[in-house]
Amino acid sequence: MTRAVQTETEAVNADSFLDIVASIVSIMIIMVLMTGLKIRHMPVDARELEQPAAVDEDLSRDLAQEQTLRGDVLKLAGEVQKVGQEALVRQQERDALAMTVRTLEGKLEGSGRAAADAGPPDPVLSGRLADARGRLDEIEHIRKMIETAPAPPVHVENYPTPLGQTVDGREVHFQLRGGRIAYIPLETLLAEYKSDVERKVHKLADADEFTDTIGPEGGFRLRYTLERHEVTATESRHGRMGTYIRLKLCTLIPVEENLGETIDEALAENSQFRQAVADRRARGATITCWTYPDSFDVFRQLKKELYRLGFPVAARPLPQGAPIGFSPEGNKSTSE
């Protein structure tokens, strides 16, 4: 009897414990659901989302500055090494001349003793000795100046890291030729080109190619060539052959040799260059500079000003005498 009562009491206690556990679990589930709903409807702080982008931007700027400073340090180390090599060369010249002077002095002294009764010393030998002594004093003076001269100050200019990016957006074009900067109204010329093609495309009915010139606009003419292109079955996406009209080549032709402004005129207020980059169509655009070999120095000065104004810059070097041209097979500009 005693054992039966004890077993019944234990069963009752186990059921009560399970009820308590189930209640606690239910309360925890309800709390998790309420917390999830609260987080779901909580407004997003835009500043927290923008913070990683700002950190990335600061990191990129610091890396660019570190690379620029590293290049300047390497350049300064090269200049110091060059000065040290020059000082070493001067020292070697000095030692050689000192040896020559001692040799000439010995010869002169010996000649003086041997020819004491024969008259004055050889004037040619005396002149050579005087010249050698003068040259030795000059080299010694230059060596001391090199060793004691203070190091020249290094002016560090920080520019964006030149990582090339293909230009897919709008571009504003300039020609840098003969030390002058000329704005190219390419959008205006292309709009006129489209209208001209619509009026004259019928000429390709009896010809494989057609060339014509439009302009001038802003000091430039645009010469274009259209061609009939036969599409083979392998070239067609749908396996059908056909013929269509396409642009073969566009070439810009300046109307005069000294077109545009000098760098000083372009950087002045109310210049053609200032008006072109201040135009609403230039906002957010890349500045593309078609640069000839005689205007690389002008490009460096112009790029510095464009960076200051916040424009990305794309350089398109051209051989001297080559025209500015476009074609469907050409490559896009690359900005820095």
Return the pLDDT at 272: 92
d(CA 154, CA 23): 76
Mean pLDDT of 204-229: 88
Backbone angles phi, psi at 249, to 5 degrees: -165, 140
- pLDDT above 90 coverage of the chain, percent: 27
**Domain segments of the chain: what residues?**
2-42, 47-148, 165-200+252-335
d(CA 286, CA 289): 10
| 197 has pLDDT over 50 | yes
Return the pLDDT at 2: 45
| Tokens at 141, concatenated | 């003076």
Residue 272 amino acid letter = Q
d(CA 5, CA 10): 9
Return the pLDDT at 161: 42
| Tokens at 9, concatenated | 């009491």
Residue 49 is given by DSSP the state H
Residue 332 is given by DSSP the state P
Q: From edge to edge, which strands make up the β-sheet containing 324-326? A: 209-217, 220-231, 242-254, 324-326
Residue 247 is given by DSSP the state E
| 45 has pLDDT over 60 | no
The string of pLDDT tens digits covering residues 300-311 is 999 999 999 999
| Tokens at 293, concatenated | 């070999």
Nearest to 218 by CA among 267, 176, 259: 259
Return the pLDDT at 156: 47
Of 82-96, 160-174, 193-207, 312-326, highest mean pLDDT: 312-326
d(CA 120, CA 123): 8
Nearest to 266 by CA among 176, 336, 188, 187: 176
Least confident segment among 81-85, 238-242, 243-247: 238-242
What's the CA angle centered on 208, arms 326 and 250, to 5 degrees?
A: 15
Comparing 166 with 125, which gets the higher pLDDT?
125
Return the pLDDT at 172: 92
Averaged pLDDT score across all residues of the chain: 77
The string of pLDDT tens digits covering residues 100-137 is 877 877 777 766 666 555 555 667 777 777 778 888 88
Mean pLDDT of 184-188: 92
The string of pLDDT tens digits covering residues 281-305 is 788 889 999 999 999 999 999 999 9
Comparing 198 with 108, which gets the higher pLDDT?
198
Return the pLDDT at 331: 58
Mean pLDDT of 263-274: 93
d(CA 105, CA 128): 10
d(CA 235, CA 229): 11
d(CA 207, CA 187): 28
Backbone angles phi, psi at 227, to 5 degrees: -145, 155
Comparing 184 with 58, which gets the higher pLDDT?
184
Residue 323 amino acid letter = P
Contact present, 101 and 133 (Cβ < 8 Å): yes
Q: Checking DSSP bridges between strand 313-317 and strand 324-326, what pairing results, if any?
A: unpaired
Three-class SS of residue 315? strand
Nearest to 294 by CA among 185, 184, 171, 175: 175
Backbone angles phi, psi at 80, to 5 degrees: -65, -40
Element (H, E) at 83: helix 46-114
